[in-house]
Chains A and B, each alone.
Chain A
Amino acid sequence: MIELFGVSKSVPSGSSTLTILHPIDLAIPDGQVVAITGASGSGKSTLLGLIAGLDAPTSGRIVIDGMDITALDEDALARLRGRRIGFVFQFFHLLPSLTALENILVPMEIAGVPGARTRALALLDEVGLSERGHHYPSQLSGGEQQRVAIARALANDPPLLLADEPTGNLDSTTGRQIIDLLLNVNRSRGTTLVLVTHDAELAAVAHMSIALRDGRVVSQTSGTADTRIPASASRP
C-alpha cells in the first residue's frame, strides 16, 4: 500500500518559488496498475520520483507499506529501493561498462542476495534475452536495453515497480512488447505497477488513472479490471 498525505514539491526559481506539485493525497492498494498521465511539465515524473524516494517532498508524508520514507536518509532510501522498489527509466540508464547480465546482477550483489547469477539468467530468459547476456548496452537495441532494465528492476523481486515513460523512447511495436512485459509482471507476480505515460490506451486499461495538469490532480478514474490492451489499440 502506497499512501501520500499532502505531498507537494516546489523549487526556488530566481527570487520566487516555483511549485511543481501542489499538495496531493493518494492511496494505491497493492497489486494495482496505476497510470499517471498529463502533459509535459505537469509534474508526473516528479510525483513518481517522490514515490521512489529519488527526491524529497517540500511538504507531506509518503508511506510505503506503513513506513514513512520521507523520514529516511539517503542510504536508507537506497537500501529501500534496492529491496522493495524497482525503477524503469525512459532512457534505460544501464551501466555502460557492464554487460547485460552484470547489469542485472548489480542490485542483487548490493543487497547480498545468494544465487544471484542463476536468478539473473532466469530473468534474462524471462525478458527474452537469454542469448544476449554477455553483450554491452551499446551492442543492444533500445527495446533490448529496456528489457534488460526491466529485468534489473525485477532482480530483487520488489513488490513495487515504478516506470517513467518506459516506452517513450521506443517505436510502437517495441513499446507494445515492453508494456505487455510490464503488465505480465503485474499479473504473474502481483507487483504493484505505477507508470508515467502519455499513452491513453494504456491509461484506459489501468486499474487507476491519475491525470495531472500544472501540478494538480485534475481527474482520478478507475479503468477496466482487465489490464490486457486490445490488439487494435495504437499509440500516438
Chain B
Amino acid sequence: MSFVLKMVVRELRASWRRLLFFFICVAIGVAAIVTLRSIIQSLRTGLMREARATIAADVLVQSNRAWTPEIRADLDQRFALAPVEARSESIETATMVRAEHGAAVARMVELRGVESGYPFYGVLVLQNGKPYSHQLLANGGALVRPELLAQLGVQEGDRILIGGKPFTIRGVIDQEPGRRLGGFSLGSRVFVDLADLRSAGLLVFGSRANYQILLKVRADGVDRLTRDVRTGFRDRFVNARSYRSTEDQIGESLQRAENFLSLVGFVIVVLGGIGVWSVTRVFVRQKIRSVAILKCVGASNAQVLATYLLQVALLAMAGSLIGVALAAGAIRAIPPSLTESFGGLAYGLTPSAVLQGLTVGLLVSVLFALVPLLDVRRVKPLLLMRGADSNVSAATQPAGARGAMSWLRRVDWLQAGLAASVGAALIGVAAWQAGSWRAGAAVSIGFATVAGVLYVVAFLLVRVVTPLAAAPWFPLRHAVISLRRPGNQTRVILLSVGLGSFFVLGVRALQGNLVSEFDVGVGRGGADMFIVDVQRDQVEGVQALLRERQDAGAAPARLVPVLRARVTGVRGREVTLENAGDVRGRGSLSREYVITYRDHIESNEEVVDGTFWSAGDPLPADAPVSEVSIEESIHERFNIHVGDEMRFDVLSRPLVARVTSVRHVEWGDARSGGFMFVFRPGSLAQAPHTFIGFVKGPDDPAARGRLQYDLVARYANITAIDGREIIARLQKVIDNAVLGISIVGGIALLSGVLILIGAVAMTKFQRVYEAAILRTLGASTRLLTMTLALEYCALGLLAGTIGAAGALGLSWGVTRFVFDIPWRPAPGLLAIGAASTMLLVTAIGVLASADVLRKKPLATLRAE
C-alpha cells in the first residue's frame, strides 16, 4: 500500500496541471448541486419555522361564500366539541382605495378585515417600532403598506376612502405574518377592523371575498378538527387547513423544486463526468509507457490500478471541495433583490447539501474514470521493446462472421460489465437526485439516446468522409485522415461536445419557451382594464362613464354578465359523476368557475364540435334542461362530450345543462375574456348576477388614474383592475423566475464550454508528433493550421447540429409534457447554437494546438 500512496503523490506532483480541467469539471457540477440545494433547504427551514405564522392560527376555516346562519351554527357545533381556545374572524377581498384629499387616483388593494384576536401567531410589524394592537384599527383605523402612501400621495394620519367610507391611516405595515412567499398579489395590503369592512358596502352580491375563521386549538385537537371540518363541510364549499398541513404543503412543493433543481445540478455533474471520462482516457494513453515500466519492474495490475484510481479520487475530492467553496461564494453573491422577493430569508450552505454535493462529485468522477482506467490492465510490458502503444488501441479487425466471433472473444467482459454497472449506478444517482425513479430514468435515457445517436453518427461520419482521403487538396486529405486514423478522437469529441451542446441549447430553448409564454399578456390595442363586481343597476352608468373617458377610436367597453358556479355532477357517454364528492375525485373540475351566458361566439373562439345555439333565440325560461358550451380542455381532460348532461350549483341553485358544443378559446387574446362554460341565454338571465367589463382604458396614465378614481367614487363596490399595473407586477415575479432560469442556463453554458475546451485540448497530444513530422517534411504553419481547422470544423458542425436537433426534441417534450405550454421551436437560436459550436470547436481546436504549431519539431521528435 505504501508503494501505491508514494506513487500517487509522485504522479500528482508531476501531472496535476494536466488534470486541472478534470477538477474544474467536477467543481462546477458540485457547485451547482450544493448552491441549488442549499438555497431551497434554507428557504424550507425558514418557512417551516413560520408555518403557524403563515396562517396566523392553528386552524383556518375558510370559504369563498359568506357564512350562512346554518353553516355558522353547524361550525359552532363542531368547534364546541374540539379543544378550541380562542377564535377570531377575518375577511379578505380585493377592492379599490383612494385618498380623501390628495392625488385623484384609485388603487386596487387586498383588504383584510380582522378582529381583536388576530394574529394568534406571528407579529404584525409596523414601521418606526410602533407595536401593533387592535386599537389601531378600531373605529375607522387602517394600516397600509408604505407603497400605498406613495401611490395615493398620503401619509400617516391622512384619511383614505374604502367603499366610500373614510378610514384614518394609523400605521404603516413593515411585515405581515405569513405574507412572505413573494409570489403574486393583486395589490398592496390594507388592514381594517372587520366590523368596518362589513359596513363599508363592499360585500354586496357577487363580490369576491374570502371568509375566514381563525382558531387557536390545543395541540392534540388540531388534526381532528381540521379533518372533521374538511369532511363535514366539503359539499358546502368550506375548507379547513392547519399549520401542519401548510407545513406539509410548503414542504412538498419545495421538495419537488429542490429535486428538480438538483437534477439539473446532476446533469451538470454528468457533463463534468463526460469531461472526466475523456480526460482520463487521454491520461491513460499518455501513461501507457509508465504503466508498462511499472509492470516491468514488478508492479501488479491491482497496484497500478489502485495508483491511478486513487489519483482520480483525490482529484475528484479536491474538485468537489472547490465546488463547495464556489457554492458558498455564489450564495453570498445572490442579489438582495432576489432574496427579498422570498421574504428576505437567510441563506447559507446546509450540511446535507454539502454532503450530497461531495458524494455525487466523488461518485460520478470515480464511476466515469473507472471504465477507461481498466485499460491499464491490458498494458503489456512488452511494448517497451517495441516502442508503440499498439497493445491498447484496437488492431485492424477481420471482417464478416469470423470478425464478429473474434470481436466477441476480444470483448473485455469485465470492462463491459463494469460499464453496465456504472450506467446503472448513474441512473441510481440521477433517481436519488431527482427524488424519483421515473425522472432519473428519463434523464438517463435521454442522455443515453443522444450519446447513442452521436456514436452512430461518428461511425457514419468516418465512413462518409473516407473517399475524401484521396482528395487532391493536402489540408482536406489530411483532415480526413486525422478523422479516421487509428486511435482517433472523433467519437470522443462528438460525444462530449454533442452532449454539451445538446444540454446547453436545450436549456436555452426551454428558457426561450418559458419566457415567451410569460410574454403573452395584454396586447396593445386590446382591453387593458377590467371592471368587476358591476351590479345590474350600475351597468348603464358605468358604460356611460367609460364611453366618455375612453380614447377616440378605442373599442367600446363591453360588460359581460358573470355568475359563479360549481360542477356537481356529470352524466355522460364516458363519465358519470353522481355528486359533488365524485366531481372532487376529478381534481380541478370541482373548482369554482366563472360562467357567462350569451347568444354568440366571440372573435377569439371557434366551435370544434357540436353546434352553438343561434343568436336571438333564448331558451324558454321554463325549459327543464339548459344548454352549455364547454371549452376544449374540459372536453379533453375530463372526457365530457357533446350530448352529455352536466349538473351545476349556481349560487346554491341547481342547474342542469346539456353540452351542445365544444369551443377552442385563444387564451392569448383575452379582449373578450375566456370562459370554460358558456350557457344559452334564458333561465340564467333571471338569476342574480354581476357584470365584468373588458375595457381599453385611456393611454395617458393620469387619465387612467382619474377614470379609476371616478368609477370608484361613484360606485363604491366596483373594482377596476388596471391590467398594465397587474402585468408590471406579474413581470416582476416573472423577472425573478427568468433570472433563476438564466442562472441555471448560464451554469450549463459555462460547463458545456469548459467540457468542450477540455475534450478538444486533450486530443492535441495525439497530433503533436504528426505535426512535427509534417513540419520536418516541409509543411508550413498555414498548411497545418488549415488541416486542423478543417478537421475540427467538421466535428464541431456535426456535434452542434446533433446537439441542436436533440435540444429541439427536448424543448418539445418538456413544453408539451411537463410545462403544458405551446411549443416554440426557436430555429434561429438553434442555428446560432450549432454555428457557435462549430466556431468554438474550430477556434479551441486550433488554439489548443497553437503550441504544437509553434514548437520546434526536433524537440517533439526527441521527446517521442
A interface, CB within 8 angstroms of B: 45, 48-49, 52, 54-55, 74-75, 78-79, 81-83, 87, 89, 91, 93-98, 102, 106-107, 109-112, 152, 155-156, 164
B299 with A110: CB separation less than 8 A:
yes
Contacts of A83 in B (CB 8 A): 298
Q: Is B294 a contact of A106 with CB atoms below 8 Å?
A: yes
A75 touches B300 (CB 8 A): yes
Task: Tell whether B385 is near chain A: CB-to-CB under 8 Å.
Answer: yes
Provide a sorted-by-A list of 19 A–B residue pairs whose CB atoms are within 8 angstroms. A45-B385, A49-B382, A54-B380, A54-B382, A55-B380, A74-B301, A75-B301, A78-B299, A82-B299, A94-B293, A97-B10, A97-B11, A97-B14, A106-B299, A107-B298, A109-B3, A110-B3, A112-B2, A164-B385
The 10 closest A-B pairs by CB, nearest first: A82-B298, A97-B14, A109-B3, A107-B297, A75-B300, A54-B382, A110-B298, A55-B382, A110-B299, A54-B381
Contact A96 B290 (CB under 8 A): yes
- Which residues of the partner chain A approach B336 to less than 8 Å between Cβ atoms? none
**Residues A98 and B10 in contact in the complex (CB < 8 Å), given A54-B381, A106-B294:** yes
A83 vs B293: C-alpha distance when bound (angstroms) = 15
Q: What's the least CB distance linking A97 to chain B, in Å?
A: 3
| A48 to B, closest residue via Cβ | B385
Contact, CB under 8 Å: B298 / A111: yes
Q: Is B295 an interface residue (CB 8 A)?
A: yes
Query: From residue A197, how far is it (CB to closest CB) to chain B in Å?
Result: 15
B293 touches A93 (CB 8 A): yes
CB <8 Å contact, A79 and B385:
no
What B residues does A155 contact at CB under 8 A? Answer: 297
CA distance A106 to B3 in the complex (A): 8
Q: Which residue of B is nearest A105, CB measured? A: B6
Q: Which of B279-294 contact A (CB under 8 A)?
A: 289-290, 292-294
B387 close to A (CB within 8 Å): yes
B13 at the interface (CB under 8 A from A): yes
Q: Which residue of A lies closest to B286 (CB)?
A: A96
Q: Do residues B297 and A81 form an inter-chain contact, with CB atoms below 8 A?
A: yes
**Interchain CB contact under 8 A, A110 and B297:** yes
**A164 partner residues in chain B, CB cutoff 8 A:** 385
Interface residues of B in 298-324 (CB under 8 A from A): 298-303
- Point out the residues of chain A lying under 8 angstroms from B575, CB to CB: none
Q: Which B residues touch A96, using CB under 8 A?
A: 14, 290
A48 vs B296: C-alpha distance when bound (angstroms): 13
Contact among B10, B300, B380 for A79, CB-based, below 8 A: B300
Q: Does B416 contact A (CB under 8 A)?
A: no
Task: Given A96-B290, A97-B13, verify A106-B297 contact (CB < 8 Å).
Answer: yes
B15 an interface residue at 8 Å Cβ cutoff? yes
B14-A78 in contact (CB<8A):
no
| Residues of the A chain whose Cβ atoms lie less than 8 Å from the Cβ of B290 | 95-97
User: Per-position contact with A for B381-404: 1 when CB-CB < 8 Å, else 0?
Assistant: 110110100000000000000000
State whether A102 touches B289 (Cβ < 8 A). Answer: no
Q: Which residues of A contact B14 (CB under 8 A)?
A: 96-98
The reply to whether A89 and B13 contact each other, CB–CB distance below 8 Å, is: no
Expressed in whole angstroms, the minimum distance between the Cβ of A128 and any Cβ of chain B is 21
Across-interface contacts of B2 in A (CB, < 8 A): 109, 112
Residue in chain A with minimal CB distance to B297: A107
- Chain B residues lying within 8 Å of A48, measured Cβ to Cβ, are 385
Question: CA of A48 to CA of B298 in the docked complex: distance in angstroms?
Answer: 17
Measured between C-beta atoms, what is the minimum distance from B4 to chain A in Å? 9
The smallest beta-carbon distance between A55 and chain B, in angstroms, is 5
Q: Which residues of B contact A81 (CB under 8 A)?
A: 296-298, 381
| Beta-carbon contact of A82 and B297 below 8 Å | yes
Q: Is the CB of B295 within 8 A of A78?
A: yes
Write out the residue numbers on chain A whose beta carbons fall within 8 Å of the beta carbon of B381: 54, 78, 81
Residues on the A chain within 8 Å of B11, using CB:
97
Residues of B within 8 A of A94 (CB): 293
Q: Which residue of A lies closest to B294 (CB)?
A: A106
Give the residues in chain B near A95, CB-CB below 8 Å: 290, 293-294
Q: Which residues of A contact B292 (CB under 8 A)?
A: 93
